[in-house]
Amino acid sequence: MDHEQLPYKRVSTKLIPLRQIYNALLLGIPVIATTVGLLVLHNVTPFFELYPIAYLLFLIPAGLLIWGIIYAFIIPRQVRAMGYLEKRDDLLLRRGILFRHQVAVPYGRIQYVDIRQGPLQRMLGITYIVITTAGGGTASTFEGLEMAEAERLRDELTQRGYARLAELGES
C-alpha cells in the first residue's frame, strides 16, 4: 500500500496558532529591532546623507517581514501534512510538504517516550513527544498532540516496546 494512502492520524490544528506565534516572535523581533535601529541611525547621524546607498539596508527588515508573511501562509499546510500511524511492528511519523520526512520507529528499539510541554503549548492544550531509541540513542520528536493522545501514545508505545523486548528474551 502506498504511504500516501495509509490512514495517518493527524495532529491537532491547535499547532497552527502555536507556530504562528513562534513565526511572529522569530521574525517580528528582528524586523522591529532592525527598523528601529535604522531609523535611529537615520535621525541621529548624517550616515544616510553621506551614503545614500545605505537606504538599501531597509530591505533587510522588509525582506524578513515578507518572509514572515509567506511562512504564515505555509504553516497551516505544514501542520495538515503531519501525521502518525501505529503499525504492527513500528510507529510511522510523517511531516513535510516539499521536503517530506518520514521516520519508522520500531517498537522493539524504543527505550523511553518523553512528553514535553512549554507554557504556550500548555495554554493551547497540546504537547510533543520525544521517542528515544536504543543503539545510538537517536530521538524522534513529534509535536502537536493533544495531551490525552500523547499520554495514550506514550503508554501504548511503552507497552509495545516491553512486549517486543519480552519476545526477544524468549527466543
Q: Would you list the domain boundaries of the chain?
A: 10-79, 84-170
Least confident stretch, 30-39, 115-124, 125-134, 160-169: 160-169
Residue 3 has pLDDT above 80, yes or no: no
Higher pLDDT, 17 or 170: 17
Higher pLDDT, 40 or 4: 40
Q: What is the pTM of this model?
A: 0.84
Winning range, highest mean pLDDT, from 7-21, 32-46, 89-103: 7-21
Q: Which three cell numbers stand for residue 124?
A: 493551547
Each as own residue / partner, the long-range contacts of residues 154-160 (CB below 8 Å, 24 or more positions apart, any chain) are 154/113, 154/115, 154/129, 156/86, 157/91, 157/107, 157/110, 157/113, 157/131, 158/110, 158/112, 158/113, 160/107, 160/110
Residue 18 has pLDDT above 60, yes or no: yes
Mean pLDDT, the chain, integer: 89
CATH class of 84-170: mainly beta
